[in-house]
Structure 1
Amino acid sequence: MSIGISRVKSNENEKMTIQASFRAVFLGSIDELLPLMEEKFPQLGIVKEDCFEMGWAESNLYSTQFPIGVPLETLLNRNRKSILSKLFFKAKSDYVKQPIPETTFEGLWPKFYEEEAKSAIMVFVAYGGKMDEILETETPFPHRAGNLYSISYVVDWEEEENKNSEKFMSWIRRIHNYMTPYVSKSPREVYVNFRDLDTGTNEINDKENSHEQAKIWGIKYFKNNFDRLVHVKTMIDPENFFRHEQSVPPLPCLLKKGANSNSLGSL
């Protein structure tokens, strides 16, 4: 389940207001879902007409905000456009481990009325359930038990506004800074699929990137799995051919000693 927060015009008086949009995917039938929603989220008043049964492939279209009924062949079109395919945007993320006070949100809403937030959105994605059953060391993705939900912050702008892109990025950084006391700490964890260069970068033209420099951002994405990923990288791509600003670096010190896959130890 996710909740998207954005500003919209009110239907009543055309004034701006804050809208919360709920989206969810349930593995089961509508008849199985409705009693569960009544038990867990009675405030939403979900009825059968609010729900759509579909296959897993169709749910991928729905999750990327295509209208219901779009043909599956849309997934084969690499040039397809959706509401999520803006050319210019900045994204950041957080993980929340303790309930956030209501007063925090009351202080947040006015920021969405600022000019730069005209197409901004915050998305809260619930964690728990099956996510908690997998140990954080079992896969590179470590954000498991202990997280209530993740937050994604996104602001986008049109091509003609790109010359003023800094004002949009400044807005999202202010929002991110405002949320600092209420999210994970030491490290402040982030979601790897929302790559955020504000967390730190490698020198992209330097094949021998500093392990310690990369660890600044690496532990935020991967926590204690970062060093294990460094060892995998050292075995698979020791020359660091495949690299970008936040790619996992190999360990040059091991390579200079002639290390191979047998000497890197157990992962």
Structure 2
Amino acid sequence: MIELEIPTMALNPYGGKMARIPSTATPFPYREGNLWKIQYGANWREDRLTTRYIELTRKLYQFMTPFVSKNPRQSFFNYRDVDLGINSHRGRIRSYEEGKRYGEKYFAGNFERLVKIKTSVDNGNFFRNEQSIPVKP
């Protein structure tokens, strides 16, 4: 952190009563067995330094790799990370495959259930963004 200067890292503690909620009770599955949620960030005002600050944050993220969840590396949807992938929403099969890349990291075993719900409620995929739950092909 001292070497990189710019990026920040916030650790939110997990455990306690949160661990008693089953991973399938809500879309957010990462409860039992997780000690922390880590948020990486960087703030800047100079447009010319955007690439540098993003690269410094990625360097911190890479450094933390041996110390975090694996297979897949997990993520919290409210801390959006477009490096996990984005969805072009071009055709149902492609959209589903693109969505699966980031969706399983955000929602783990709940991803398929969320796709099923989204397909039944919004079959036309009207409500979407670059990392939304896709509809079933």
Both proteins in one fold, TM over 0.5 = yes
Residue 244 in structure 1 maps to residue 129 in structure 2: yes
Structure 1 partner of 2:4: 111
1:129 to 7, 16, 34: 16
Tell me if the contact between 1:231 and 1:251 (Cα under 8 Å) persists in the aligned partners: yes
Residues paired across the two proteins, number:
136
1:149 to 32, 36, 59: 36
Residue 211 in structure 1 maps to residue 104 in structure 2: no
Note the 1:86-235 alignment, pairs <5 A. 108-112=1-5, 117=6, 120-158=7-45, 161-204=46-89, 206=90, 208=92, 209-235=94-120
> What CA deviation, in whole Å up to 9, does each residue of 1:133-170 have, x standing for no partner?
00001111101100011111110111xx1233111111
SS in 2 for 1:229: helix
SS in 2 for 1:233: helix
Q: Report the CA distance between 1:242 and its aligned residue.
A: 1.0
Instruction: State the superposition RMSD in angstroms.
Output: 1.3
Q: Report the CA distance between 1:214 and its aligned residue.
A: 1.3
SS in 2 for 1:123: strand
Q: Distance in 1 between matches of 2:136 and 2:48?
A: 39
- In structure 2, the gaps of 5 or more residues are none
Q: Distance in 2 between matches of 1:156 and 1:242?
A: 29
- In structure 1, the gaps of 5 or more residues are 1-107, 253-267
> What CA deviation, in whole Å up to 9, does each residue of 1:189-241 have, x standing for no partner?
0111111100011104x253432221111111000000000000001110111
1:126 maps to a residue whose letter is P
Tell me if the contact between 1:207 and 1:239 (Cα under 8 Å) persists in the aligned partners: no
SS in 2 for 1:152: strand
Q: Distance in 1 between matches of 2:126 and 2:39?
A: 31
Q: Normalising by structure 1, what TM-score?
A: 0.49
Q: Kindly report structure 1 stretches of 4+ aligned residues shifted beyond 2 Å.
A: 108-112, 206-210
Tell me if the contact between 1:207 and 1:240 (Cα under 8 Å) persists in the aligned partners: no
Q: Distance in 2 between matches of 1:125 and 1:164?
A: 28
Which structure's CA Rg is the greater one?
1
SS in 2 for 1:169: helix
Q: Distance in 2 between matches of 1:233 and 1:163?
A: 40
Q: Distance in 2 between matches of 1:211 and 1:165?
A: 31
1:240 maps to a residue whose letter is N
